[in-house]
């Protein structure tokens, strides 16, 4: 048989000085970061040809990153080299780290997956004398939510009409 064909990002066990007689075989392998697709072993046939098509080496992709209390866009279980994913946190959680990550050579993500931290919640908004706040049916007050105040008939509001839940878990001053 002629010299076995080479493969990109891999090699075979044959040496240039080897004589490949019928029945002899060579083994293919890939560089680190690549995975062999096809048969690793090919044999020289009595007809003087190699028994199977040569395999190929494909870059190893990345497994779907995990994020507790959040999710990753897309439904793939594995991603190709250079693919980008976007992270989102569940309601009541805030993202610490990068929102995007890219699949790198060798199956790693860069930057690493962020963390979804529980937001500090505000207690129910403070009550005011001779008035009320409109918090509708809100059960959880997370940072960024605002509540509007109204006065009872015959009373005038002094100060701000709205308060906002701050990231510290407290209300802005009315």
Residue 50, domain CATH: 2.10.70.10
Same domain, 94 and 67: yes
* Predicted local confidence at residue 91, as pLDDT: 85
Number of domains observed in the structure of the chain: 3
Contacts by 34-41 with C-beta closer than 8 Å and gap 24+?
34/9, 34/10, 34/58, 34/59, 34/60, 35/59, 35/60, 36/10
Query: Is residue 90 in some structural domain?
Result: yes
* Predicted local confidence at residue 174, as pLDDT: 65
Euclidean distance between CA atoms 39 and 129, whole angstroms: 81
Cα 110 to chain center, whole Å?
Answer: 10
Same domain, 52 and 93: no
Range of the domain at 139: 120-174
Per residue of the chain (174 residues), give pLDDT as tens: 999 999 999 999 988 888 899 999 999 999 988 899 999 999 999 999 999 999 999 888 899 999 999 999 988 888 988 999 999 999 888 899 999 999 998 889 999 999 999 888 899 998 899 999 988 778 889 888 999 999 999 999 988 899 999 988 899 986
Give the residue among 56, 57, 106 at the shortest CA–CA distance from 81.
106
Same domain, 103 and 68: yes
Euclidean distance between CA atoms 162 and 119, whole angstroms: 21
Same domain, 74 and 85: yes
* Predicted local confidence at residue 47, as pLDDT: 95
């Amino acid at each position: 048989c002629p010299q076995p064909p080479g493969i990109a990002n891999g090699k075979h066990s044959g040496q240039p000085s080897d004589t490949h007689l019928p029945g002899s075989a060579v083994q293919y392998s890939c560089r680190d970061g690549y995975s062999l697709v096809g048969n690793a072993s090919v044999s020289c046939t009595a007809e003087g040809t190699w028994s199977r098509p040569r395999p190929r080496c494909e870059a190893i992709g990345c497994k779907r990153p995990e994020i507790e209390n959040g999710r990753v866009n897309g439904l793939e279980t594995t991603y190709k080299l250079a693919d980008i994913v976007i992270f989102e946190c569940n309601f009541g959680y805030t993202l610490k780290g990068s929102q995007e990550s890219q699949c790198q050579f060798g199956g790693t993500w860069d930057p690493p997956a962020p963390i979804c931290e529980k937001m500090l919640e505000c207690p129910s908004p403070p009550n005011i004398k001779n008035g009320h706040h409109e918090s509708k049916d809100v059960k959880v007050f997370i940072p960024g939510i605002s509540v509007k105040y109204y006065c009872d008939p015959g009373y005038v509001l002094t100060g701000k009409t709205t308060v906002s839940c701050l990231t510290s878990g407290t209300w802005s001053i009315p």
